[in-house]
Structure 1
Amino acid sequence: MESAIPEHLQTARTRHRRVGDDYAPPYPSFVARHKPSVTRVVMAYFGLQSRGAPPAAAEQALARLASDFATADGPSHWDRASYVDEAGFTNVVTVAYWDDRQIFDRWFPAARERWTGEQRTNNGFGTFIEALYPSVEGYETLLSSLGRPEGVAVLADGMSGEVLEHAYWGGMRDRIPLSQTSEMAPSGAPRAIRDGARIRIVPHDNLCLIRSGQDWGDTEAAERKMYLGDVEPVLREGMDFLRDQGRSIGCYANRYMAVVGRDGTTTEKSYGMSWWKSLSALERWAESHPTHVRIFGAAMKYLSTLGPAAKLRLYHEVTVARADEQLFEYVDCHPQTGMLNAVQTVEAA
């Protein structure tokens, strides 16, 4: 059993884990391991929003983005998902990952201008960029199985063995290296500033992002029926609560999306991603809110019934980012989109 925090990021604790060294998790889980030379990663979400199916110009913009990704300084990994949001708009969200901020900084300006800047072609759709640049001390991953990593874990050099810090309330925090010495509490409040056609969100310190995914592609008939019939509806109910009422508990915005292939076809994968005021707010929902208690109960019943035979793959990544590690900008998007939902008014630049 190893710690989720790699050796080179371990330090003398001033804040203690929620469990002791003799804790034994009831089932195995794993974390992604980067090379020690990796000090910062980039998670950049490029969103496209339209009323109804994306128009031809939007499809062209998506194709151009994929072409930009294929250039020398493009991301090491990217994937795409879609969903219909609370206002009835179709959103196509492409998330790209880098493990070198300097490479990203070379690539980003031209792509940004085409997506939300002066070179953007406004043909009946909105666009947005939501990006984080956390240090490796500021985020954690967790995967239920080895092989076929998702999200930022695809960039890793390898995977851990079985880790100690999981399957208890507080494990998410305990896996983040900064938690050894920092409370990671938020400070300040987000503001919106109009910058030409763009609306920029000026964020606050220690904003929290979670991406949490499911892959049922390997499941066979009985397990698939159990997941899609007993677990997924409860998960969707919780995701809808966060989307529609999340602000009351510190969730600024939530998207529950279907992953689509490079050719646009729907896959047997989904993920939820949400922006939170703080890690603490996310923890409180996870530990005690009825919607997550039901998700947790359905998942535990499913996993305890199937045991090691379960073929459902689960993963998540949780990031706590400083204000200077965040970028949010929106063009022609409705006011409930992403971090626009976190503010009441838009100031002039």
Structure 2
Amino acid sequence: MESAIPLHLETTRMRHKRVPDDYQPPYPSFVARYKPAVSRVVMAYFGVQYRGAAPSSALEALEDIAGMFASEGGPSHWDRARYVDQAGYDTTVTVAYWDDVARFDAWFAPTREAWTGRSRDGVGTFIEVLRPTVARHETLFSSPDRPEGVAVVAEGMSGEVQEHAYWGGMRDRIPLSQTDAMAPGGAPELIRDGARLRVKAHDNLCLIRSGQDWSDTEASERKLYLDNVEPVLREGMDFLRDDGLAIGCYTNRYMKVLAADGSVSEKSYGQSWWKSLAALERWAESHPTHVRIFGAAMKYLSALGPSAKLRLYHEVTVAAADEQLFEYLNCHPKTGMLAAVVTVTA
């Protein structure tokens, strides 16, 4: 049994784990392992939104960003997903990952100007970027043989890890949690730059991407998931989208992953920005919507046991203030982190 925290990031604990050292989890889970030389990763979300029929400019934007990804310094991995947001805007989000910040920085400067520096007819565009140290980040996978998201740029997967299947495991997998409570500081502010709107968030902002992959399931298991688990998951995701602000969730997107040809795959993920890791933990541990998600998932997994072919994963980051960038052009006022803004700076 391995620790989720890699050896080179282990330190003397000032804050104790939620379980004793001899804790044995009831089922296996795995985490991504980066090369020790990797000190930071980058996760960059490029969004395009529109209402009604898709204008040609939306398709052109998606082709443009894919072309930029293929250029010098582009990401090691990217994927694309789609959803309709709380204001009824069809939104496609392309998320890209790097394990080399210098490469990203050189690539990003012209890309940023092309994406949010010029208007496109009938669409809004946005960029949301985190570039955390690996000490501020964790992943978890139910299976070690199909990485998703940021784990694709990692060197590989761990063996079975100890810190999972209990409340608090998410925090215990983040190396910084050994010494830091990661409490939030400050409030989001809006900075106007002509037509561009930037959000300056705050220290220890939390991001989670939590995914589901039912592409390997056979007919009976697929039906069980889609009829009994997915509707409960969607209810919880809709709650966070529409009413999450009151409990510390700034914004939530529940998206269907798109295949390479643009069709909808049998994968989905929820992606949300939280005021703090603690707020995310409170929702997960005690809010009725997540209690129902957890109950439906446990019933499903208990019924199927080791034969279950549903794959689950997540990645969680608690980012320092200087590791964040949020930028929006011609987007509606509740898009992404714009929904969190309470102070306007000229």
Distance 2:2 2:269 in 1: 27
1:251 to 244, 249, 256: 249
Matches within 5 A, 1:90-105: 90-105=90-105
Question: What per-residue deviation string (whole Å, max 9, x for no partner) do you get for residues 260-295 of structure 1?
Answer: 022211100000000000000000000000000000
Within a 5 Å distance, the mapping from 1:212-291 to structure 2 comes to 212-291=210-289
Residue 106 of structure 1: aligned partner:
106
In structure 2, give the amino acid aligned to 1:95: V
Answer whether contact 2:137 2:317 (CA < 8 A) is retained.
yes
- The structure 2 residue matched to 1:195, chosen from 193, 196, 221, is 193
The unaligned stretches of length 5 or more in structure 2 are none
Show the counterpart of 1:320: 318
Q: Which moved more, 1:170-179 or 1:256-265?
A: 256-265
Report deviation, 1:338.
0.5
1:299 is matched with 297
Amino acid at match of 2:23: Y
Partner of 1:88: 88
Q: Deviations over 1:75-103 (max 9, x none)?
A: 00000000001100000000000001000
Q: 1:147 Cα deviation (Å)?
A: 1.3
Q: Deviations over 1:208-258 (max 9, x none)?
A: 000000000000011000000000000000000000000010000000000
Task: Please report the TM-score for the alignment, with normalisation by the length of structure 1.
Answer: 0.98
* CA-CA distance at 1:347 after TM superposition: 3.0
In structure 1, how many angstroms separate the alpha carbons of the residues matched to 2:46 and 2:120? 16
Aligned pair 1:124/2:118, yes or no? no
Q: How does 1:42-57 map to 2 (within 5 A)?
A: 42-57=42-57
**176-185 or 146-155, which moves further after superposition?**
146-155
Distance in 2 between the 1:205 and 1:146 partners?
A: 32
**Range moving further from structure 2, 120-129 or 305-314:** 120-129
Does the residue aligned with 2:97 lie in a helix, a strand or coil? strand
Between 184-193 and 50-59, report the one with greater CA deviation: 50-59
Deviation for aligned residue 1:146: 1.6
SS at match of 1:128: strand
Out of 332, 335, 338, the residue aligned to residue 333 of structure 2 is: 335
Corresponding residue SS for 1:248? helix
Residue number in structure 2 paired with 1:71:
71
SS of the residue corresponding to residue 231 of structure 2 reads helix
Cα distance, 1:345 vs structure 2: 5.1
Asked if the contact 2:250/2:339 (under 8 Å) is kept, the reply is: yes
Q: Partner amino acid for 1:75?
A: P
- Residue 207 of structure 1 corresponds to 205
Maintained 8 Å contact 2:188/2:343: no
Q: What corresponds to 2:176 in structure 1?
A: 178
CA–CA distance in 1 between the matches of 2:111 and 2:259? 22
* Residue of structure 1 equivalent to 2:146: 148
Q: Aligned-pair distance for 1:344?
A: 3.6
Root mean square deviation of aligned Cα: 0.8
SS in 2 for 1:21: coil
Give a deviation string over 1:171-196, Cα, whole Å, max 9, x none: 00000000000000000101001111
Give the drift of 1:343.
Answer: 1.1
TM-score by length of 2: 0.99
Gaps of 5+ in 1: none
CA deviations 1:300-346 (Å, max 9, x no partner) are: 11111111100000000000000000000101111111100001453
For 1:55 and 1:344, locate their aligned partners in 2 and report how far apart those are by CA, in whole Å: 32
CA–CA distance in 2 between the matches of 1:86 and 1:182?
35
3-state DSSP of counterpart to 1:164: coil
Q: Where in structure 1 do 4 or more consecutive aligned residues deviate above 6 Å?
A: none
**Tell me, what secondary structure is at the counterpart of 2:197?**
strand
The separation in 1 between residues aligned to 2:259 and 2:299, in whole angstroms, is 31
1:134 aligned residue? 132
| Equivalent residues, number | 346
Distance 2:153 2:53 in 1: 32
SS in structure 1 of the partner of residue 261 of structure 2: coil
Whichever residue aligns with residue 25 of structure 1, its letter is: P
Alpha-carbon distance in 2 for matches of 1:68, 1:161: 35
